[in-house]
Amino acid sequence: MSSRIRVRIPARTVAQVHQWIRSMGGLLLLVILVPLTAQAQSGSPFDTGFSNMQTLFTGTVAKVASLIAIVIGGYQFAHGEPGAKKALAGVAAGTGIAVMATNVLSWLWGS
């Protein structure tokens, strides 16, 4: 005797499946079109964003953060905190690295 089990799928589940298929179709279209537009541009699509981040972190932000670190290190040194000389040496090295990072990279890789 063969018995069949009938499963009834609620209409709401069918609608969710249709919505999922439509969204996957949109995602597939996006995945296909974005690389095509990226190839039409010269260079990498990330170049401008990374260049802006480089300018931000080696420019104003680095100088302001360095100034704050120097002031805090100066207060520590003035009040005789233990390890203040070592902290100031670290601040000086870190400031030089942060502000001059672009020049160091250019010197290393010649770009």
This prediction's pTM: 0.45
Give residue 48's identity as a one-letter amino acid code.
T
- Residue 74 has a CB neighbour count (10 Å cut-off) of 13
Q: What is the pLDDT of residue 9?
A: 64
Q: What is the pLDDT of residue 40?
A: 53
**Residue of 42, 36, 57 whose CA lies nearest to 102:** 57
* Residue carrying structure tokens 């990498």: 44
Q: What is the pLDDT of residue 39?
A: 56
* Residue carrying structure tokens 């203040």: 84
Q: What is the pLDDT of residue 76?
A: 82
Asked if 102 contacts 52 with a C-beta cutoff of 8 angstroms, the reply is no
Q: What is the pLDDT of residue 16?
A: 75
Which segments in the chain show pLDDT lower than 70? 1-3, 7-12, 33-43, 45, 111
Q: Give the tokens for residue 67.
A: 């100034």
